[in-house]
């Protein structure tokens, strides 16, 4: 059991060349890609809904959410089911890499300029050895206004 | 004992309901003796039962009522509305007592006043409307159960005096409960409160008039107690009476004064039973009264929800099994799956029906309410109830009572005119309020229709402008319907005279929001001088619905059967054009076509064919033809929401999981038809 005071357990995943991290408490499960039912008249990054053990769960493609060019799904592609309050959403990522205990001390505020992803979506960055992990701000990523805009 | 008690409560309630209904009938046709006989029978049975069970107050009151009914039966007493008022009050008391017993209470209640009135009637003294109930003389006195009697005896042995103290609060006293508390507090400083009438719980909830009686044991003198209580402000009158404990007899042991010999034996039997019960549990009075369950099993609605959810899972698997069995084409598997499907659809009906309750349970109390209101307002009103057997989901039933009460009150107070006005207008003096419930598609409609004054457009507009709900410029452009909608705006009341019947306009907006929170809607139609109809549309809240599955390119969608009129296959050349809109001639009607692949931006892979499959759907009287690629078939599906992330997706009301595990979206036809 990780010391919650000093360490943060995170799920690490790959998106293009960057590694991102989400606190493990926000992650419900990690799924392989399955049939996604398209939902019409929703933003492009909303890929549709899946049947997650009897629960209809919406899926968004993080690449498209962040404006990174789309990539066809492959063997590594995963859907990370995250929960935010009452909301459960699946995030399509290139690959799920790791589960790590991040020392809280290693987390720094987001740098001014971050490649590809807007600083808004980032809670901070953490350096673990040679790896740079970007901590995702799920509240921002799943903000509902962005759906309403389309 | 308790098993008899359950039956007793169930049957008492039934009899009281019968009495209520028949009394209303009797009021309509006062000369119909068969009705009196009917009431008499119910009252008599009730009296016998309650005497047997040892509920004296109940038996006493019923007995008195029976005497009056007997008088009516023998043409000694004539039926008047005033007389019925008293009888209704008696029934109210009876109901309160039965409810008290059902919730584990002792079924005691101070019924002297009503009994007195009934006795007067029996002696030929029919009350007129003006006679006030004799409330000036303090009628409250204490009766003591065995337990309290023992306590009093004990206190006496230890040198305490027993006093009964009548306290009367001032009529303008605002916080009665607080004063009661202060009185109790004052008394507890010098002695101990043994019993209160009405009981303490009722006093705390302010469920009493101005007076109450407490029994106190204390070593102080009567004067000291008087001084103690008088210190509390807003107390108008205090009477302290010393009680000789030895002369008291526990009320349960005093034989009830019942002349009818048949019940006499029963009473003795009941007393015996009670004694036994006492012997078992001398300790605490409360322990003897456990809350009594109904004859039917009560199930927490949450459990039903869980059952429902589990069943939904089963429905999904059933779909999957059906599909596998079709693919494998194995006769034995096929047969078994078919049997399972049949059983599970029976099961489904049962589960759904368990949650369904006839609206009768809500409508039941309206005749009484309407009668009372009509009398209070000096109006003549006939309430017609149609379709009381219509069933609705339990959760909806629980919520719909209050809005309906409000709308009914509204119709009676603001809608129906007084008899004089009606006569002047050439209408029958008696106004009619129709309460109608019926099924239509996946909805239940409840309508409240009155033949009253209707809504005055100008008056509503004027009011709305005055209250700043709309601006003058907008007012002129509104349709009649939109004007009527305004009365649902908060802070709106058009009655010239504000009455306490339908409140101060704080209600109709609440009615609207309650109904909308149930997923329903309410509309008004009105003709001035002719009457108004309030129409409430409610969903059945079925979580399993029948749909038609269709395919659009490679995507599957579900259309609720409730919106579908029929399906058709039309030739390309049958499509007509009207104002840039593709239409078809469907049984003599021009129906606009909606190409779902365009509406839903479905990626086009397949080529267009020469024939179109069209699903004709409707919303109210409007129709539309939804063009799809092919029909898959009809199926029962479980309605699921799209979750909290994707709220308000255009023209999609939810989703369902098909037999192959894939998700299909359910089309909201209402959003497609404008």
**Total count of domains within chain A:** 1
**Residue A2 domain flag:** no
Q: Does A117 score more than 60 pLDDT?
A: no
**Residue A30 domain flag:** yes
Tell me whether residues B663 and A49 touch, CB distance under 8 A: yes
Instruction: Tell me how close the Cα of B164 comes to any Cα of chain A, in angstroms.
Output: 59
Q: Does B533 score more than 50 pLDDT?
A: yes
pLDDT of residue B497: 47
pLDDT of residue B552: 92
pLDDT > 90 fraction of chain B, expressed in percent and rounded: 9
Catalytic residue among B38, B197, B410, B449: B410
Could you read off the pLDDT of B217-260 as tens digits, one per residue?
Answer: 888 888 887 887 777 777 778 888 877 776 665 444 444 443 34
For chain A positions 2-41, those within 8 Å of chain B (CB to CB) are 35, 37-41
Q: Does B1 score more than 60 pLDDT?
A: no
For domain B146-249, is the CATH number 3.30.70.1110? yes
pLDDT of residue B140: 47
Considering chain B, what is the average pLDDT of its residues? 78
Query: B640-674: buried (b, 16+ CB within 10 Å) or exposed (e) per residue?
Result: bebbebbeebebbbbbbbbbebbbbbbbbbbebbe
Adjacent-strand bridge partners of B539: B443
Which of B159-173, B285-299, B655-669 is predicted most confidently?
A: B655-669
Which residue range forms the structural domain that includes residue A57? 7-148
Burial class of B497 by CB neighbour count within 10 A (0 to 12, 13 to 18, 19+): exposed
- Which residue do the tokens 């109006």 mark? B379
**Residue A134 domain flag:** yes
**Residue A135 domain flag:** yes
What CA–CA distance (Å, rounded) separates B480 from B79?
A: 46
**Residue A1 domain flag:** no
Burial class of B599 by CB neighbour count within 10 A (0 to 12, 13 to 18, 19+): middle
pLDDT of residue A38: 93
What CA–CA distance (Å, rounded) separates B544 from B560?
A: 11
Answer yes or no: are the C-beta atoms of B280 and B197 closer than 8 Å. no
3-state secondary structure of B136: coil
Domain locations in chain B?
1-134+259-298, 146-249, 301-354, 358-539, 544-672
Give the Å distances, CA to CA, from B170 to B181, B182, B206, B233, B234.
15, 14, 14, 9, 5
Q: Could you tell me the pLDDT band of residue A90, with boundaries at 50, 70 and 90?
A: very high
Q: Verify whether residue B300 is a known catalytic residue.
A: no
Tell me whether residues A87 and B662 touch, CB distance under 8 A: no
Looking up residue A110, the CATH number of its domain turns out to be 2.40.50.180
Least Cα distance to B17 among B364, B481, B529 occurs for B364
Q: Could you tell me the pLDDT band of residue B513, with boundaries at 50, 70 and 90?
A: confident
Q: In which region does residue B574 sit, left (phi positive, over 0), alpha (psi from -120 to 50) or beta (all else)?
A: alpha
The complex's ipTM works out to 0.87
Q: Does A147 score more than 70 pLDDT?
A: no
In chain A, what residues touch B650 (CB-CB under 8 Å)? 40-41
Tell me whether residues A49 and B655 touch, CB distance under 8 A: yes
Q: Verify whether residue B66 is a known catalytic residue.
A: yes
Q: Could you tell me the pLDDT band of residue B628, with boundaries at 50, 70 and 90?
A: very high
Q: From the candidates B311, B318, B543, B645, which should be mutated to test the interface with A, based on the most A CB atoms within 10 A?
A: B645
CB contact B663 to A (< 8 Å): yes
Q: Token pair of B98, please?
A: 């039965």
**Residue A90 domain flag:** yes
pLDDT of residue B357: 83
Lowest mean pLDDT among B124-138, B285-299, B314-328: B124-138
Nearest CA in chain A to B653: A39
Higher local confidence (pLDDT), A3 or B510: B510
* Residue in B601, B647, B661 nearest the CB of A51: B661
Q: Can you say how many angstroms the Cα of residue B23 is from the centroid of all Cα atoms in its chain?
A: 21
Work out the number of other CB atoms within 10 angstroms of the CB of residue B88: 19
Q: Which residues contact B587 (CB under 8 A, 6 or more apart)?
A: none
Higher local confidence (pLDDT), B73 or B148: B73
Least Cα distance to B534 among B524, B546, B544 occurs for B524
Domain at B544-672, CATH homologous superfamily: CheA-289, Domain 4 (2.40.50.180)
Burial class of B318 by CB neighbour count within 10 A (0 to 12, 13 to 18, 19+): buried
* Residue in B313, B645, B662 nearest the CB of A87: B645
Answer yes or no: are the C-beta atoms of A99 and A12 closer than 8 Å. yes
Q: Token pair of B386, please?
A: 């149609």
pLDDT of residue A83: 92
Could you read off the pLDDT of B59-110 as tens digits, one per residue?
Answer: 888 888 888 888 888 777 888 888 888 888 888 888 888 888 887 777 777 7
Least Cα distance to B449 among B410, B503, B494, B495 occurs for B410
* Topology at the third CATH level for domain B358-539: Heat Shock Protein 90 (3.30.565)
Q: Could you tell me the pLDDT band of residue B278, with boundaries at 50, 70 and 90?
A: very low
Mode of pairing for the β-strands spanning A7-15 and B381-386:
unpaired
* Topology at the third CATH level for domain B1-134+259-298: 1.20.120
Mode of pairing for the β-strands spanning B161-169 and B191-197:
unpaired
Q: How many CB pairs (< 8 A) connect A and B?
A: 76
pLDDT of residue B288: 42
């Amino acid at each position: 059991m990780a010391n919650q005071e000093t360490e943060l357990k995170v799920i690490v995943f790959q998106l293009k060349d960057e590694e991102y991290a989400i606190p493990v408490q926000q992650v419900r499960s990690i799924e392989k890609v399955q049939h996604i039912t398209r939902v019409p008249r929703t933003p492009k990054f909303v890929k549709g809904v899946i049947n997650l053990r009897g629960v209809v769960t919406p899926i968004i493609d993080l690449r498209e959410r962040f404006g990174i060019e789309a990539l066809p799904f492959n063997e590594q592609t995963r859907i990370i089911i995250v929960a935010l309050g009452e909301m459960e959403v699946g995030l399509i990522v290139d690959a799920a890499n790791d589960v790590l205990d991040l020392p809280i001390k290693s987390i720094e505020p987001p740098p001014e300029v971050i490649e590809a992803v807007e600083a808004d979506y980032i809670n901070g960055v953490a350096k673990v050895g040679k790896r740079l992990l970007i901590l995702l701000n799920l509240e921002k990523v799943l903000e509902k206004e962005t759906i309403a805009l389309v | 004992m308790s098993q008899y008690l359950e039956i007793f409560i169930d049957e008492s309630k039934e009899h009281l309901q019968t009495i209520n209904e028949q009394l209303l009938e009797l009021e309509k046709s006062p000369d119909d003796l068969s009705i009196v006989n009917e009431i008499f029978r119910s009252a008599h049975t009730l009296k016998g039962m309650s005497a047997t069970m040892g509920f004296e107050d109940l038996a006493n009151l019923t007995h008195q009522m029976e005497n009056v009914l007997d008088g009516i039966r023998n043409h000694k007493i004539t039926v008047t509305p005033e007389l019925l008022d008293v009888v209704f009050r008696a029934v109210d008391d009876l109901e309160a007592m039965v409810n008290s017993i059902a919730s584990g209470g002792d079924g005691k209640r101070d019924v002297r006043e009503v009994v007195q009135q009934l006795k007067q009637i029996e002696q030929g003294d029919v009350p007129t409307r003006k006679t006030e109930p004799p409330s000036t003389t303090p009628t409250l006195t204490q009766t003591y159960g065995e337990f309290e009697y023992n306590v009093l005896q004990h206190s006496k042995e230890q040198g305490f005096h027993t006093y009964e103290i009548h306290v009367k609060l001032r009529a303008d006293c605002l916080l009665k409960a607080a004063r009661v508390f202060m009185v109790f507090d004052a008394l507890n400083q010098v002695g101990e409160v043994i019993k209160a009438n009405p009981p303490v719980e009722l006093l705390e909830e302010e469920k009493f008039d101005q007076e109450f009686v407490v029994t106190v044991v204390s070593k102080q003198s009567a004067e000291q107690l008087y001084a103690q209580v008088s210190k509390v402000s807003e107390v108008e009158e205090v009477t302290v009476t010393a009680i000789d404990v030895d002369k008291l007899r526990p009320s349960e042991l005093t034989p009830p004064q019942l002349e009818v010999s048949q019940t006499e034996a029963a009473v003795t039997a009941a007393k015996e039973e009670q004694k036994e019960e006492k012997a078992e549990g001398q300790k605490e009075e409360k322990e003897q009264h456990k809350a009594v369950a109904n004859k039917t099993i009560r199930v927490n609605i949450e459990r039903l929800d869980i059952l429902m959810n589990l069943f939904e899972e089963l429905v999904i698997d059933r779909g999957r099994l059906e599909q596998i069995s079709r693919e494998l084409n194995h006769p034995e598997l096929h047969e078994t799956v078919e049997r399972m499907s049949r059983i599970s659809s029976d099961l489904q009906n049962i589960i759904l029906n368990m949650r369904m309750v006839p609206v009768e349970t809500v409508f039941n109390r309206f005749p009484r309410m309407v009668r009372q209101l009509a009398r209070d307002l000096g109006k003549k009103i006939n309430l017609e109830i149609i379709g009381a057997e219509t069933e609705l989901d339990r959760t909806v039933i629980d919520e719909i009572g209050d809005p309906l009460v409000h709308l009914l009150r509204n119709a009676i107070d603001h809608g129906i005119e007084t008899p004089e006005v009606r006569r002047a207008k050439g209408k029958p003096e008696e106004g009619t309020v129709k309460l109608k419930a019926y099924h239509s598609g996946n909805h239940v409609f409840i309508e409240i229709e009155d033949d009253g004054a209707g809504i005055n457009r100008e008056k509503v507009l004027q009011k709305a402008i005055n209250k700043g709900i709309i601006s003058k410029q907008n007012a002129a452009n509104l349709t009649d319907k939109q004007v009527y909608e305004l009365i649902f705006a908060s802070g709106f009341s058009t009655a010239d005279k504000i009455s306490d019947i339908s409140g101060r306009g704080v209600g109709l907006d609440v009615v609207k929001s309650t109904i909308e929170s149930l997923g329903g809607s309410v509309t008004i139609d009105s003709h001035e001088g002719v009457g108004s109809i309030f129409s409430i549309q409610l969903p059945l809240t079925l979580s399993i619905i029948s749909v038609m599955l269709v395919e659009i390119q490679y995507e599957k969608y579900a259309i609720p059967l409730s919106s579908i009129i029929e399906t058709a296959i039309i030739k390309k050349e049958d499509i007509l054009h009207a104002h840039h809109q593709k239409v078809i001639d469907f049984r003599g009607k021009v129906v606009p076509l909606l190409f779902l692949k365009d509406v839903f931006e479905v990626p086009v892979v397949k080529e267009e064919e020469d024939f179109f499959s069209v699903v004709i759907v409707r919303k109210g009287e409007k129709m539309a033809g939804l063009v799809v690629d092919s029909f898959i078939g009809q199926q029962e599906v479980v309605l699921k929401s799209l979750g909290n992330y994707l709220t308000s997706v255009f023209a999609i009301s939810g989703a369902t999981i098909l037999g192959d595990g894939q998700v299909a979206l359910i089309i909201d036809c209402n959003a497609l038809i404008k």
